[in-house]
Amino acid sequence: MARPKSNRITIGDIARAAGVSQTTVSFFLNGKRDRMAKETSERIARIIEETGYRPSSSARGTVSRKSGLIAVICDGVTDIRGAQMVHGIEGAASERGYRVLSCMTNHDREREAAYIERLLDLGVDGIVIKPTASFKQISSLVESRGRGLVFIEPGVYSDHANWVKTNNYDATYSAISECVARGYRRFVRVAADPHYLGSLVERHAGFDDALAAAGLPTQDYAVEGREVEPTALAEFFRRQLEAADAEAGEGQADPILVFVPNGWLLPTVYRAMLELRTHVPERIGLLGYDNEDWTGLATPSISAIEQPAFEEGREACNMLLDIVSGKKRTQGHRTFESTVAWRGTTL
């Protein structure tokens, strides 16, 4: 077979000629052939030899040539949790002689996919990612290029992946159960659609299960998009107080607890509740997530479940660099404990 010039041959050409996927060819080039049929491996090798194909360093994905770069892809770094996570990653990377490229997706799958493709083409040695729901696609793409991959709070906690997370379910269940013990009997959840994001799904489940165990009802205020009007929220809270009064009749109304599982929503909910501050926390309380840069400074200060984002970032980075260096041979899983800061917005 005549040999075309090698610069005209791509990994896609090899895959088509061999009748396999580009991922299979990538696995062959990276030496991951233990699960590959002997006939397939021999066919790919023959076609590469016949065409004179020479893979580029990015297509080959070899770990023998390190770039000294890793990437972190997250939904946002403008909030304190995202910033602390990236800070933890950068600190651990610097200690081990690496530099970090940071990318923000704003929960956009197309943007996330574009970042991953570009970063792999740049030759980063590995990626730490707080992903959208496209867990399997990300794993297949990055691993097919021979790069390290660690997830932070993935939607699916696969035993065949490396991931770091916090105990969102247990932390929420415990905190809501404590609110019940403190005397709250009516509960309002102000939340956006979790979109199958693992951490938010767990928080919702912890909330629902704690109230089901206590035999208490809940009222939901669904937030569409990212824009929320504090005045409309305040009016909703007033109606909840009026309903509690009407139900109590001449007796004392049951106190209400507002739970906010989305960290980015907490500032807006708090502004709405300031219009009812004379009722906080005896008649209406507030429990949120994260935002520790200001929740303790507000008046009244805000009770919140706080996650160790900095430690998560450090662990994810060290896990990734162990993979890149060849020290880590099995999948790593780590769950961190969250804490609850009980402050002025709860009994």
Question: Is 255 domain-assigned?
Answer: yes
Sign of CA dihedral 256, 261, 265, 270: positive
pLDDT for position 5: 42
Residue 252 shares a structural domain with residue 207: yes
Within this chain, do residues 83 and 148 fall inside the same structural domain, yes or no?
A: yes
Q: What is the pLDDT along the chain (347 residues), one digit of tens a residue?
A: 444 443 467 787 888 999 998 778 878 877 677 778 888 988 988 898 888 777 654 554 444 468 899 999 998 655 788 889 999 999 999 999 999 999 998 888 889 989 998 999 888 999 999 988 778 889 988 988 889 999 999 877 888 899 999 999 999 999 999 999 999 999 999 999 887 778 899 999 999 999 999 999 999 999 988 788 999 999 999 999 999 999 999 899 999 999 999 999 999 999 999 999 999 999 999 999 999 999 999 999 999 999 999 999 999 999 999 999 988 767 899 999 999 999 999 99
Same domain, yes or no: 228 and 278: yes
Q: Mark whether 227 and 128 lie in a shared domain.
A: no
Q: Which domain holds residue 252?
A: 168-306
Q: What string of H, E and C letters represents the secondary structure of the chain?
A: CCCCCHHHCCHHHHHHHHCCCHHHHHHHHCCCCCCCCHHHHHHHHHHHHHHCCCCCHHHHCCCCCCCCEEEEEECCCCCHHHHHHHHHHHHHHHHCCCEEEEEECCCCHHHHHHHHHHHHHHCCCEEEECCCCCHHHHHHHHHHCCCEEEEECCCCCCCCCCEEEECHHHHHHHHHHHHHHCCCCEEEEEEECCCCCHHHHHHHHHHHHHHHHHCCCEEEEEECCCCCCHHHHHHHHHHHHHHHHHHHCCCCCCCEEEECCCHHHHHHHHHHHHCCHHHCCCCEEEEEECCCCCCCCCCCCCEEEECCHHHHHHHHHHHHHHHHHCCCCCCCEEEECCEEECCCCCC
Q: Each residue of 113-122: pLDDT tens digit?
A: 899 989 998 8
Q: Are residues 140 and 206 in the same domain?
A: no
Torsions phi, psi of 192, nearest 5? -95, 165
Q: Are residues 88 and 191 in the same domain?
A: no
192 and 301 together in one domain: yes
What is each CA distance from 102 to 302, 312, 313, in whole angstroms?
30, 16, 12
Q: For residue 198, give the nearest of 299, 129, 115, 95 by alpha carbon.
A: 129
Count of structural domains within the chain: 3
Rounded Cα distance, 18 and 22, in Å: 10
Which of these, 277, 275, 280, 209, lies nearest to 236 by C-alpha position?
Answer: 275
The residues that bridge with 171 in the sheet, in sequence order, are none
302 and 182 in one domain?
A: yes
Q: CATH number, domain at 266? A: 3.40.50.2300
- Can you tell me the distance from the alpha carbon of 224 to that of 72, in angstroms, rounded to the nearest whole number? 28
Let me know: does 76 contact 82? Beta carbons within 8 Å.
yes
247 lies in the same domain as 194: yes
Q: What is the pLDDT of residue 2?
A: 42
Residue 191 falls inside a structural domain: yes
Residue 347 within any structural domain of the chain: no
| Residue in 178, 181, 346 with CA at minimum distance from that of residue 256 | 346
The pTM of this model reads 0.80
Counting every residue written for the chain, the total comes to 347
106 located within any domain: yes
Q: Are residues 258 and 195 in the same domain?
A: yes
Q: Is residue 277 part of a domain?
A: yes
Same domain, 191 and 262: yes
- Judge whether 60 lies within some domain: no
Output the domain CATH number for residue 26: 1.10.260.40
185 in a domain, yes or no? yes
Q: Based on the number of CB atoms within 10 Å of its own CB, is 299 exposed (0-12), middle (13-18) or buried (19 or more)?
A: exposed
CA angle 330, 336, 339 (to 5 degrees): 175
**pLDDT of res. 8:** 61
